[in-house]
Amino acid sequence: MPYPTFILADLKLPDGDGFTLLQDLKSKPAWAVIPTIVLSGSSDRDDLKKSFLLGASACFVKPNSLDGYFRMIRTTYEFWSLSETPEVDVTGQQLPTQSTGKLGEDIPQPEYVPRPRVAENK
């Protein structure tokens, strides 16, 4: 499975909310680097601020029209698809890098433990 270029999440989810999702994603080093874009049905300033404080990369208010929605999704996809992502193995785990002597060497990396590849059912 390819490593996600970005995650698109709604603030209002059937089994919770986008804030909890952001907290969970950004608390795990392996996932924290994935850009996370938040969609909301309202432009509530507190919701937008909280989303950014919890690690959202961008926040968008859902357009009123289906055409506007498709345009927003297409533009978002085109933009974030150009972004670089960490290198991963065949199971989707980030590969370790050697940051000794480089900017950011003090930032902890997720532990890399090779996992066996799971065969896909076809």
Q: What is the domain-level CATH number for residue 42?
A: 3.40.50.2300
Residue 64 within a domain = yes
C-alpha angle with apex 54: 80 to 95, nearest 5 degrees?
55
Check residue 55 and give its pLDDT. Answer: 94
Check residue 100 and give its pLDDT. Answer: 77
What CA–CA distance (Å, rounded) separates 112 from 100? 17
Can you give the pLDDT of all 122 residues of the chain as single tens digits? 566 778 999 998 888 888 999 999 999 877 888 889 999 998 999 999 999 999 999 999 999 999 999 999 999 989 988 888 778 777 777 788 877 777 777 777 777 777 776 666 65
Check residue 118 and give its pLDDT. Answer: 63
Residue 69 within a domain = yes
Check residue 120 and give its pLDDT. Answer: 60
Residue 72 within a domain = yes
Residue 93 within a domain = no
- Do residues 76 and 60 touch, judged by C-beta distance below 8 A? yes
Residue 97 within a domain = no
CA 39 to chain centre: 13
Residue 87 within a domain = no
Read off the pTM: 0.72
What CA–CA distance (Å, rounded) separates 32 from 26? 4
Pairing of strands 12-13, 16-17: antiparallel
Overall domain count for the chain: 1
Check residue 72 and give its pLDDT. Answer: 93
Residue range(s) defining the domain that contains residue 66: 7-81
What CA–CA distance (Å, rounded) separates 60 from 47? 11
